[in-house]
Structure 1
Amino acid sequence: MKENGITIKKYNPEWKNVFRELKKVLEHSLGDYILRVEHVGSTSVEGLSAKPIIDLDVVISHREILPKVIEKLSELGYSHQGDQGIKGREAFKRANSTVPFSEKNTEWMAHHLYVCALDNEELKRHLAFRDYLRANRDACLAYEKLKRELARTSPNRDVYTDGKEEFVFAILKKAAAS
């Protein structure tokens, strides 16, 4: 479904495989600089329709190693975009569709890459929201319905994103209470 420039596709099990392959490349390149790579966002929730864009959070132990991580990600073809207004969550942009560069010259699916320290609040929010949707099918279905409605009615991506905010906060409140 594509409305107003926003594409929502039925859940695709291939998204999980793409994440795994991206994770392998990142772990190989970043090695001991990172703790783990998390698949977050709607593509990480089995059965949930989503914009076909993989969201990845690269988790580091502390911000002091961020310069080394930025350097390593640069070698893979990512450019550091700063925190984009979300404190402690560092965003990275791909130079082209073959990023991250690998021996296979893979054309990668669209993805967003962020780096967060283990104690970062945005990382905690991403994981809590994902985990709640994974465990609560009714919430997952309600979120999908909202996303489809917003994709149909929103004039642009900013309005679409803002329209999800109240739902996300309500889920995070429920996740914190459970």
Structure 2
Amino acid sequence: MKRLLYAAAGLAAVVCSPVAAKAQDAEWGCQILLCAASQNPSWHGVPYCVPPMKKLIRAMSKPGFDWPICHQAKAGEPGREEFEDCPAGSRPASSSNTDDGVFRRDENDQCVRIMDRCEDRGEFNRLYGDGEANDKNRTTLEILRSGRNDDDFGYRHNKYNGCKVKVTSPRPRRSSPWYFDIPNDKGVKERFWFNLRT
């Protein structure tokens, strides 16, 4: 709630004339910006925010939707990032197909890392030694070696002597994929993440 009050104060300073105005008087775009900035609780827990945000969600499903902008705040339209950063030591990558074989657009929905299972045996076994856990987490292991790369049947039966393993796992999805970069009173932008689930 404290961050909402700070955001409201900053937004009010930008949006309002010298006469102080209440948040309820803000134009719709500024209401959305103010409500999106509410972090604890999120806009879902702020009674003032529920009507303008639900109005936004309904409007987004209509043809020709234009995001309502709070021009005075100089924040523009929101951004969207569907995925969290990959864990340290891994990088984003795209899967080419979904489970049903339908081509997926390039969206960097996987995290990939290369591990040396010989040098880091303990760490490798701790992270990826449980096949059932790997299956449950949809983590795949691919032995990398020079020359032809057969399937990992030999690895499962400890017959491979390759050390480098490519580990691929689904990239974590953000619970709040939308964000506004809102300038504070010093002009420095601060990022506020929000979701549009009802």
Give the TM-score taking structure 1 as reference length: 0.29
Higher helix share: 1
